[in-house]
Amino acid sequence: MRPLATRLNVLSGEGALSVFARAKELERQGRSIIHLELGEPDFHAAPSVVTALKAAIDAGHDRYCQVPGIPALREELCAYLKRTRNLDVTPGDIVVSPGAKTALFNALMAIVDPGDEVLYPDPGFPGYPSIPQGFGGVVVPYKLDASRQMQPDADEIARLITPRTKAIITCSPNNPTGTVYTDMVQRRIAELAVEHDLYVLSDEIYSRISFKGEYQSMRSYPGMAERTLVIDGFSKSFAMTGWRLGYTVAPSHLIPALDLIAINSYTCVAEFTQYAAIAALRDVENQTDRMAAEFRHRRDVFTTALNQIPGFHCEPCDGAFYAWVNITGTGISAEEVCRLMLEEAGVAGIPGKAFGEAGRDFVRFSFVSAPAKLEEAAARIQKISVAWQAVAAR
């Protein structure tokens, strides 16, 4: 057999998916597992969204449609982005994609040439280093660490910029740390982007699940509309993970490139899901705010419970739905903590290294289960924590 493309050697998988596979296997063996590994809300699309989907299919909206997305959805997105992020966007600035991940992939394909450097948050979403590397890019992590409350250090970013730097990826609220970047940090990153003529890929998929006041998009800072690619989607804000709906808001000179990549890959997003997405954006049930309030409640319940476990330390996150737990107090590695939790207690969490080197001393849990389940998970971990208390005491 002839070998496969060498670019595969630089792509990485996702730690969450491998933990999920093992947890599923244990479940098949009859074990009770509490799944806190995937970033999937335990809600479903609102009733009005399902009704709109059925109506769209009944109306025959199951055809090939416009490459960047149906005009009605892109118009609705403009109104939504104005309402929720105060962004002034026209339908021609938007390309709809099958999921935010595809939006990210295509945006990076449009920007990154071999040898171009891309700065990304560490810890961060695994695709940030993996995708640009697949295009021959050189990835450069900037750290989010506890000494700065997990905020990026703009001075570090400034030091990392070279003549080969093409783009900075930002993600606020961040997966896995839940950090909502401060206005000061974002303003400074924007200034650096303008000064060095860089693109910014602003992953705003958790923007509606923020517990820290009004959300500020990277696109809203001076000089940023012409260099920011906002990546967003329906998976988290509208609990529509399996619907595969995302979008990019891009500077107009980039739109033909994103269209071209879409033509060469997915052609268009399913027409009926796009009609349903319009109903999601209108959100007559006020589902997004209700979900965000519930996540905030779970964060409080779960953080309190986690902090009672010997060796665990967790700061309440400012957004998204992840508990980012420092486990250095256990005296064992995050991998070993996760192994014990899954195999002995039936609780699935992810070792922080799955999100980058800087996550080495952490474990990520998604608080996407009901509060009673989260409390049960903490109680189960508490019970088996004797394993590491014994190790730490040695």
Ligand X SMILES: Cc1ncc(COP(=O)(O)O)c(C=O)c1O
Distance CA 259, CA 267 (A): 9
CB of 169 to ligand X, least distance (A): 10
Query: Site for ligand X (CB under 6 A): which residue of 15, 41, 69, 99?
Result: 99
For tokens 């039936």, the residue is: 346
**Amino acid code (one letter) for 126:** P
The dihedral through the CA atoms of 158, 180, 129, 94 has a sign that is negative
Q: Where are the beta strands (DSSP E) in the chain?
A: 34-35, 94-97, 117-122, 138-143, 165-171, 199-203, 228-233, 246-249, 313-314, 322-326, 347-348, 350-351, 362-366
CA–CA dist 343, 290 (Å, integer): 34
- Taking the least distance from each CB to ligand X, the nearer of 13 and 223 is 13
Name residues contacting ligand X, limited to 108-147 (CB under 6 A).
Answer: 125
**Minimum distance from residue 204 beta carbon to ligand X (Å):** 9
Please say which residue, 103 or 345, places its beta carbon nearer to ligand X: 103
> How many of the chain's residues bind ligand X (CB under 6 A)?
13
Residue 216 CA from chain centroid, whole number:
17
Least separation in angstroms between CB 373 and ligand X? 20
The CB density around residue 84, as the number of other CB atoms within 10 Å, is 18
Q: How many H helices and E strands in the chain?
A: 13, 13
Q: Does 235 bind ligand X (CB under 6 A)?
A: yes
Q: Does 100 bind ligand X (CB under 6 A)?
A: yes
Minimum CB separation from ligand X for residue 241, in Å? Answer: 5
233 touches ligand X by CB under 6 A: yes
Among residues 359, 376, 375, 279, which one has the least CA distance to residue 16?
359
Nearer of residues 32 and 267 to ligand X, judged by Cβ: 267
Encoded tokens for 274: 């796009």
Cα separation, 374 vs 368, whole angstroms:
9
Find the shortest distance in angstroms from Cβ 31 to ligand X: 25
CB under 6 A: which stretch of 77-85, 96-104, 269-277, 332-340 binds ligand X?
96-104
Cα separation, 277 vs 283, whole angstroms? 10
Instruction: Return the residues of window 148-177 that contact ligand X according to CB under 6 A.
Output: 171, 175
Contact 256, 228 (CB under 8 A): no
Distance CA 67, CA 260 (A): 9
- Whichever of 99 and 129 has its CB closer to ligand X, that residue is 99
Considering only 35, 61, 74, 101, the residue that binds ligand X (CB under 6 A) is 101
- Min dist CB 232 to ligand X, Å, is 8
Sole window of 191-199, 233-241, 264-272, 348-356 interacting with ligand X (rule: CB under 6 A): 233-241
Compare residues 56 and 169 and give the one whose CB is closer to ligand X: 169
58 Cβ contact list (under 8 Å, min separation 6): none
| 125 vs 199 by CB, closer to ligand X | 125
Of residues 360-389, which lie at the interface with ligand X (CB under 6 A)?
Answer: none
**How far, in Å, CA of 57 to CA of 345, rounded?**
45
Residue 276 vs 345, nearer CB to ligand X = 276
Nearer to ligand X, 298 or 378 (CB): 298
Name residue, tokens 């400074």.
188
Tell me, residue by residue from 197 to 226, as one string, x for binding to ligand X by CB under 6 A and - for no binding: ------x-x---------------------
* Stretch near ligand X under the rule CB under 6 A, chosen from 95-103, 210-218, 311-319, 377-385: 95-103
Considering only 20-28, 94-102, 109-117, 330-338, which stretch makes contact with ligand X by CB under 6 A? 94-102
Name the residues that contact ligand X, by CB under 6 A.
39, 99-101, 125, 171, 175, 203, 205, 233, 235, 241, 246
